[in-house]
Amino acid sequence: MTLETWHENGWLRHHKTSKAEIRSILKLVERDLADASRVEISEDWRFSIAYNAGLQLSKLVLYAAGYRTGRGESKHYRIIQALPLVMGPHLNLIRDFFDNCRRKRNISEYDAAGTISQKEAQDLLQTVTEFKVQVETWLQQNHPNVFP
């Protein structure tokens, strides 16, 4: 499948991003990474905040490619699943990891407290921190016109 096929299915809409929008998203990511590093908050919240940083980075990738999610449900799912379509199949593993984290986050936010371990929160924070570097490099190389 391609992004254009997703667009035809209504899962994505065309979107024109800007340096200002990308800069704003990166500031959100930096804030969330800093907050997720705070050990005085619960592991559930640290995980959720780190997840949000990863989701924002994934959204940034989609925006840079000229798309945003369509109307309806499953926006987080679509944003995460689009990563390999935009950046390449080498991101299948990170897509699967983020999707697993999406499910865990849903449980910890909506169903049960205390479901996230310290290791899970730390692993997600580390993965998102590394992914940020990868996204910024990709953005500089492939979309320098919107890299702040």
**Residue range 4-31: average pLDDT?**
96
The contacts of residue 113 (CB under 8 Å, 6+ apart) are 42, 44
pLDDT recorded at residue 111: 87
Nearest one of 55, 84, 31, 61 to 135, comparing CA atoms: 61
Q: What is the dihedral of CA 132, 135, 136, 140, to 10 degrees?
A: 180
When comparing pLDDT for 73 and 127, which is higher?
127
Q: What is the percentage of the chain residues whose pLDDT exceeds 90? A: 89
Is 147 among the domain residues?
no
Residue 72 has pLDDT above 90, yes or no: no
**Residue range 111-136: average pLDDT?**
96
Is 27 among the domain residues?
yes
Is 115 among the domain residues?
yes
What is the number of domains present in the chain?
1
Is 103 among the domain residues?
yes
pTM greater than the 0.85 cutoff: yes
What CATH number did the domain enclosing 43 receive?
1.20.120.330
Domain extent, residue 77, equals 3-136
Nearest-angstrom CA–CA distance, 144 and 137: 10
The DSSP letter of residue 119 is: H
39-71 pLDDT tens trace: 999 999 999 999 999 999 999 999 999 999 987
pLDDT recorded at residue 12: 94
pLDDT recorded at residue 71: 75
Q: How confident is the prediction for the chain on average, in pLDDT?
A: 95
Residue 143 has pLDDT above 90, yes or no: yes
| Amino acid, res. 133 | V
The DSSP letter of residue 90 is: G
As to burial, measured by CB atoms within 10 angstroms (0-12 exposed, 13-18 middle, 19+ buried), residue 126 is exposed
